[in-house]
Amino acid sequence: MKKIVLNRKGQSLVEVTVALSILAIVLTGVVTLAVNTVGLMLASRSRMEGTAYAQQGLEILKAKPGSDCTTGLELNSPTDITLPVPSPYDSIYTRTYKVADPPSGTVPPSSHTLVSVKVTWEFRGQPGGEITVKQIMKRK
């Protein structure tokens, strides 16, 4: 009688296929997580820039009480002015100034005005978001 000796030192094709399938599932999850993280990081950067541009718009008005030398914005009458804002990134920002009377009961409307600076942006051709900063400012 002949004895058949099987060599059990190697791996079978089924074991290799199962191992590669598990590796592919794990790598798919890691890559998806990385892509989502990058997207959220870029959205956060756009929001941070938008907030900075809105705050910068208020600072411009505070530096020149009564008007803004770059836009001719007069604080003595309601107005709505839209300006493009350059960005070093892929986003396109638009800054809109609005001047109105302050809410009733806060300050006298004859001596103060409510200035709203709204910044909207696009990111890679899609609507990115908007942020509005408001401040009550004293008239001239």
pTM over 0.85: no
Q: What is the pLDDT of residues 85-129, one digit of tens each?
A: 665 655 678 888 888 878 888 777 777 888 888 888 887 777 878
Measure CA of the first residue to CA of the last residue in the chain; give whole Å: 113
Instruction: Say how far apart CA 139 and CA 110 lie, in whole Å.
Output: 8
Residue 25 banded pLDDT, cuts 50, 70, 90: very high
- At 75, the pLDDT band (50, 70, 90 cuts) reads low
On the question of pLDDT at 71 being above 50, the answer is: no
